[in-house]
């Protein structure tokens, strides 16, 4: 069989849930505060994956204005019951301190591309919900239980309750069916049934470098569940030099010819600094069911492999090709924005350009005009051209490398109090978690007309450039630390920061007059 390099979904694509319908495979991944909610990729061969849709597109389904960084959509679960698709998701409104305000919903659709239904509210007792369709027609809802009390373990176990699909509500008794292994922090449950056994796959150890996927089984759905002989189906926690780290949170799928695969979360730390600048990604492992009735990774190990046998041949050249966006028609699917279900207030397309409407400050949790795409390569360039006439220093627009409010670099066009245009660069870095900005240069005056901006990232190094008219690119500012755009620098380290690096276009108007900036193109160029 052909060999595919891991990860199969590079860049910020965490918490994978996989579903097969006939010959088609679908993976749903978390999107956190980025809108629209939930990424769904499609494949026919497990090698090549296309970003197909994001189903949570309406205010009635998702409104994340005010959600802190790394809140929003956590760990969706995508299933098909033979009639339609079911998507279960959490919208987390708070994650710091004792409390987790985590609301769980279900939407359905006859086709993967929608239309998707209005949401059914299910519960708020914990996050990472999942729906299991049993062979007797019953549906079961599982989620981790959160305990806010002092002196108790926060990750209290896995809750099971029957879901009445007709009434659209939970029914019967809620039971805590699994409290996890000694690694603790049990979450991310998925249920399966095989040869009379119920199998429960969970994530443990937190989402950092101690992460793992734990497998357990029981003859009855409500337990008791016994642990896998090796306890963990996949983990890199005992091998800090393995290329794939932070391995855990997964889901299982079978091919039409009976082969079994595991998709799971992983991260690839940079070689210069132990930071996962591409965020948490999705990897694939081939598995086998053995005579003892347990599932194992192929190769007599639970260490995630960097290569996996798959039915198809991967198009590496296609993935590494330059992407040029000219903003004709709809916003290209590669791009997202932050939090708001009212994108018409922050951008519009027309005349072959993307117009950003200046709103709140960089890093706002409410209404921020920032349109960006994922960084998916360790080395790349991003380029754009901006037409913008700021009136003073409170109006700015430009090119950003962005992770969250405490992690970004920003080359922007602005003006002094006299209205004279200039370029400047500032950053928000984790060493200033109060949000204090670091300015790297004195303002660089520029003449009238559009300004081209470029950002080059090579592993942990980031350099900005600018040009006007037919002039050559000029370096601007010092070499910056690209590795701050990572979970490890998100203010809560890898256990509390969950997204990944983006590169994109932004505009702010701190005067409140919604000054507009036009972007004529955007290029993402792997190096």
Query: What is the DSSP pairing of strand 85-94 with strand 101-109?
Result: antiparallel
What's the sign of the alpha-carbon dihedral 360, 366, 367, 370? positive
User: Has 23 been annotated as catalytic?
Assistant: no
Q: How far apart are the first and last CA of the chain?
A: 29
Task: Dig out the tokens for 485 from the structure.
Answer: 């755009």
- 413 phi and psi angles, rounded to 5 deg: -95, 130
By three-state DSSP, how is residue 495 classified?
helix
Chain centroid to Cα 43, Å, comes to 19
In which residue are the tokens 């190094």 written? Answer: 461
Task: Determine which helix (DSSP H) or strand (DSSP E) holds 317, and give its type and residue range.
Answer: helix 316-319
**One of 367, 393, 458, 479 is an active-site residue; which one?**
367
Task: Dig out the tokens for 410 from the structure.
Answer: 């920003």
By three-state DSSP, how is residue 280 classified?
coil
Q: Decide: 162 and 173 in contact? Cβ < 8 Å.
A: no
Of 185, 268, 349, 362, nearest to 12 (Cα)? 268
CA atoms within 13 A on the CB side of 77: 29
- DSSP lists the bridge partners of residue 470 as none
Q: What span, in angstroms and rounded, lies between the C-alpha atoms of 49 and 46?
A: 7
- 287 phi and psi angles, rounded to 5 deg: -125, 170
Of 187, 84, 202, nearest to 139 (Cα)? 84
Q: What span, in angstroms and rounded, lies between the C-alpha atoms of 493 and 269?
A: 13
By three-state DSSP, how is residue 1 classified?
coil
Q: Decide: 378 and 270 in contact? Cβ < 8 Å.
A: yes
Q: Strands, E, within 417-526: which ranges?
A: 421-428, 437-439, 444-445, 451-458, 461-467, 474-481, 502-509, 516-526
Of 513, 277, 502, nearest to 370 (Cα)? 502
Task: Dig out the tokens for 143 from the structure.
Answer: 């989620």
Of 410, 334, 349, nearest to 12 (Cα)? 334
Strand order in the sheet with 212-218: 187-194, 197-204, 212-218, 226-235
Task: Dig out the tokens for 37 from the structure.
Answer: 């909610």
Q: What share of the chain is helix, strand, coil (3-state, %, to 5)?
A: 5, 50, 45
- Residue positions annotated with a catalytic role: 367
């Amino acid at each position: 069989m052909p060999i595919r390099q891991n990860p199969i979904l590079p860049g910020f694509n965490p918490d994978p849930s996989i579903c097969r319908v006939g010959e088609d495979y679908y993976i749903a991944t978390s999107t956190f505060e980025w809108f629209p909610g939930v990424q769904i990729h499609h494949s026919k061969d497990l090698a090549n994956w296309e970003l197909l849709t994001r189903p949570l597109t309406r205010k009635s389904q998702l409104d994340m204005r005010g959600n802190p960084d790394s809140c929003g959509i956590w760990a969706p679960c995508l299933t098909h019951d033979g009639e339609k698709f079911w998507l279960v998701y959490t919208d987390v409104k708070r994650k710091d301190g004792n409390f987790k305000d985590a609301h769980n919903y279900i939407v359905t659709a006859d086709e993967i591309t929608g239309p998707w239904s209005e949401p059914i509210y299910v519960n708020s007792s914990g996050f990472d919900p999942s729906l299991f369709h049993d062979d007797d027609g019953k549906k079961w809802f599982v989620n981790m239980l959160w305990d806010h009390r002092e002196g108790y373990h926060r990750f209290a176990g896995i809750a099971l309750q029957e879901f009445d699909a007709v009434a659209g509500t939970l029914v019967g008794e809620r039971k805590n069916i699994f409290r996890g292994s000694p690694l603790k922090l049990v979450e991310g449950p998925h249920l399966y049934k095989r040869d009379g056994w119920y199998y429960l796959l969970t994530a443990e150890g937190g989402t950092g470098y101690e992460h793992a996927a734990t497998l357990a089984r029981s003859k009855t759905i409500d337990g008791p569940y016994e642990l896998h002989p090796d306890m963990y189906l996949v983990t890199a926690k005992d091998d800090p030099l393995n290329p794939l780290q932070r391995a855990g949170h997964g889901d299982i799928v079978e091919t039409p010819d009976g082969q079994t695969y595991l998709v799971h979360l992983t991260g690839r730390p940079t070689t210069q600094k132990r930071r996962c600048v591409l965020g948490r990604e999705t990897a694939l492992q081939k598995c086998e069911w053995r005579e003892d009735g347990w599932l194992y990774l192929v190769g007599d190990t639970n260490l995630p492999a960097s290569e996996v046998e798959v039915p198809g041949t991967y198009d590496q050249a296609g993935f590494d090709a330059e992407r040029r966006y000219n903003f004709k028609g709809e916003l290209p699917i590669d791009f997202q924005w932050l939090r708001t279900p009212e994108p018409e207030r922050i951008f519009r397309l027309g005349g072959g350009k993307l117009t950003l409407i200046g709103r709140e400050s960089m890093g706002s949790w409410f209404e921020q005009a920032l349109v960006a795409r994922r960084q998916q390569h360790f080395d790349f360039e991003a380029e754009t051209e901006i037409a913008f006439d700021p009136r003073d220093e409170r109006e700015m627009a430009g090119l950003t490398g962005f992770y969250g409010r405490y992690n970004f670099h920003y080359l922007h066009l602005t003006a002094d109090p006299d209205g004279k245009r200039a370029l400047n660069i500032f950053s928000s870095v984790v060493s200033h978690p109060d949000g204090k900005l670091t300015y790297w240069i004195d303002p660089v005056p520029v003449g009238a007309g559009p300004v081209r901006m470029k950002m080059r990232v090579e592993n942990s190094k980031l350099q900005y450039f600018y040009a006007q008219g037919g002039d050559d690119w000029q370096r601007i500012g010092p070499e910056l630390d690209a590795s701050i755009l990572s979970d490890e620098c998100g203010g809560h380290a890898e256990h509390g920061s969950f997204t990944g690096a983006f590169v994109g276009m932004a505009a702010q108007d701190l005067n409140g007059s919604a000054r507009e900036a036009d972007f004529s193109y955007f290029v993402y160029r792997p190096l």
